Chains A and B, each alone.
Chain A
Amino acid sequence: MSRQVNRTIILSVATVAGGLGLSALAHSPDIAGQAGSGFWLGTLLLWLAATLAARDLAGLAAQQRKPSGLLALAVPLLVGFLLVVLWELITVGAGVPAVLMPPPSMVAARFGGALPVLAADFVQTFVKSALPGYAIGCAAGFGTAVLADRVPFLRRGLLPVANFASALPIIGIAPIMVMWFGFDWPSKAAVVAVMTFFPMLVQTGAGLAATGRIERDLMRTYAAGYLTTLVCLRLPQALPFIFTALKINATLALIGAIVAEFFGTPIVGMGFRISIEAARLSLDMVWAEIALAALAGSAFYGAIALAERAATGWHPSMRAAR
């Protein structure tokens, strides 16, 4: 037991130290762009050590009766570290041109150097376009679903149309929204609203239909009206479905806001920056924006997943977490 722990610690430390050491070594003038077989052998050994460490860590995490956050996090952290290091070693060691694939160190340097630009882009794209569009789209989808559930002719008439409309490609609607709402963020928010509307409509509709007969009958025996039944039974039952839509939409919102900026925008925004920096061949800035988008998207998704766990801890899919 403790032997296994010792081995895991040694392997993990070796991976981290070796990764950092090799990365530093790769940048020395003798090796950068002309690395010999010794360097690649070192890279291979690093890979091996990381694989063994990850396997041991996963084994330890599985042995724990109550999974602690730290150990469960260690494996993905280690794998992520390995991928970044390999990326660095290969691009620097083999001298891959920066226009094709800049090494992570270069992207990080660019990220650090361009913080004000990145912050402005983030505000424009995430705070002004994605978030309001997301809120509007989700709220409208939810409201429409509740309405369609209440009014039978809407259910029969609207849902097929909604399904059809959800197949509209975003590429098609983005230019239209620019015509309607102008170049600035309102048109991007509109694209996001349209994209997030349908998943929420469909999921909420499915959730409202998910109540069982006995559960509804129980409400009937209490002579509960429409609103009481909605609040006490059908919405709680629909909550896991609604959270599914919220999570799908968190991803869609950021994609929508970025892609919509490819179709005309003021000179700020993540999508705008990606398209012009790619045209200028400064791929390091493109990657810095991609890293920013990944960070923002993960944080957004994570926040919703946390809220979901708090709100629907009763649901079978969440019980393990309790």
Chain B
Amino acid sequence: MPRASAAALRTVPPTDADATEDRAPEPARAVVSVSDLSLTYETADGPVYALSGVDLAIAAGEFVSFIGPSGCGKTTLLRCVADLEQPTGGELWVNGVSAEAARLRRDYGFVFQAPALYPWRTIERNVALPLEIFGVPKAERRERVRRYLDLVHLGGFAKKFPWQLSGGMQSRASIARALCFDPQLLLMDEPFGALDEIVRDHLNEQLLSLWRETGKTVLFVTHSIPEAVYLSSRVVVMSPRPGRIIDVVDCSRLGRQRPLEIRESPEFLAIAHRVREGLRAGHAYDE
């Protein structure tokens, strides 16, 4: 039975909560707590060290972005939290229980890198899918689907099929699907990767205000430094081979109210610079 190590709890002050065997023995305020996590894929060409020695604790209400070159294990880390991948070492707690228990409690909403809409369902029925599975009554289902489709500006496309929409619209629909059952934890894997700059800015603002108003905890994977800094309370910089964390940059001094123009402010640029330095250091490792 796993026990959380002190390293996992670095950013969250410990309380005197007693450690029972099958619950995370720590301040339950950490929504995600990861210590010395590693995951090695055994492939035909030998082992791939997708994650190695990852320590991180994420408190309720944080917005944490993960940034790093391709193949540094961002997706793998998110999938571990979602219990879609089994770590080969270390510990992982989600909302104070194992990742599996959290998944079975439907604690999180996941936005995959690809929209993964079911082509036989219209957009509205795709968004309604989790609500149908969770047994939400029909009237409420309809109301929620409408609300979240409006939120991602797809109100007029409810009756369309996914293949009748552009790639960007499809990813917005997949975001509405993850939001519509109102999970407190959101795991988003490059959700805006396929969108153009303007739509992306707009959805960034939308996501930020949603986060501010609802107090959700968000784990957000991105390739874009400005996007990471703009959205996050903390940016986790990762590097590949083996996938690991090389820097954690605090962005909370930008405040919670962030107009888009903040991206030209000196504080913003200073933080972005530090993230870039971290990324560069990670790259230097391989070249």
Binding site for B on A (CB under 8 A): 212, 214-215, 217-218, 220-224, 228, 232-233, 236-237, 239, 312, 314-316, 319
Contacts and interface: CB of A to CB of B under 8 A. Distances in A.
Given A222-B133, A228-B133, A215 B106 contact: no
A218 to B, nearest CB: 5
B120 A236 contact: yes
A147 to B, nearest CB: 24
A314 B120 contact: yes
A137 B112 CA distance: 40
Nearest to B122: A314
A319 B160 CA distance: 13
Contact of B82 (A221, A228, A237): A221
A228 to B, nearest CB: 6
Contacts of B118: 215, 232-233, 236
A221 B133 contact: no
Interface of B: 79, 82-84, 103-106, 108-110, 112-114, 116, 118-120, 129-130, 132-134, 161, 163
Nearest to B178: A221
Contact of B108 (A212, A214, A221): A221
Contact of A217 (B106, B112, B161): B112
Contacts of B110: 217-218, 221
A182 B116 CA distance: 53
Q: 8 tightest CB-CB pairs across the interface, nearest first? A: A214-B116, A314-B120, A221-B110, A236-B120, A314-B119, A223-B104, A222-B133, A214-B112
Contacts of A319: 163
Contact of A214 (B103, B104, B114, B133): B114
A214 B15 CA distance: 39
B221 to A, nearest CB: 15
Contacts of A217: 79, 84, 110, 112, 116
B189 to A, nearest CB: 10
Contacts of A220: 83-84, 103
Given A214-B116, A220-B103, A221-B108, A232 B129 contact: yes
B161 A314 contact: yes
A320 to B, nearest CB: 12
Given A223-B104, A314-B163, A215 B116 contact: yes
B116 A218 contact: yes
A247 B132 CA distance: 32
A314 B161 CA distance: 8
A223 B119 contact: no
Contacts, number: 53
Contacts of A232: 118, 129, 132-133
A312 B120 contact: yes
A222 B112 contact: no
A120 to B, nearest CB: 43
17 contacts: A212-B116, A214-B113, A214-B114, A217-B116, A218-B112, A218-B116, A220-B83, A220-B103, A221-B82, A222-B106, A222-B134, A223-B103, A223-B104, A236-B120, A314-B119, A314-B161, A315-B119
Nearest to B85: A217
B130 A222 contact: yes
B278 to A, nearest CB: 30
Nearest to A218: B116
A265 B116 CA distance: 54
A252 to B, nearest CB: 27
B133 A224 contact: yes
B96 to A, nearest CB: 18
Contacts of A233: 118
Contacts of A228: 133
Contacts of B109: 221
Nearest to B130: A222
A222 B118 CA distance: 15
Nearest to A221: B110
A316 B82 CA distance: 31
Contacts of A222: 106, 129-130, 133-134
A73 B92 CA distance: 64
Nearest to B161: A314
B163 A221 contact: no
A55 B210 CA distance: 61
B116 A223 contact: no
A222 B129 CA distance: 9
Contact of B84 (A221, A239, A315): A221
Contacts of B130: 222
Nearest to A220: B84
Contacts of B161: 314
Given A223-B106, A232-B129, 12 more contacts: A217-B110, A217-B112, A220-B84, A221-B84, A221-B103, A222-B106, A222-B129, A222-B134, A223-B104, A312-B120, A314-B161, A316-B163
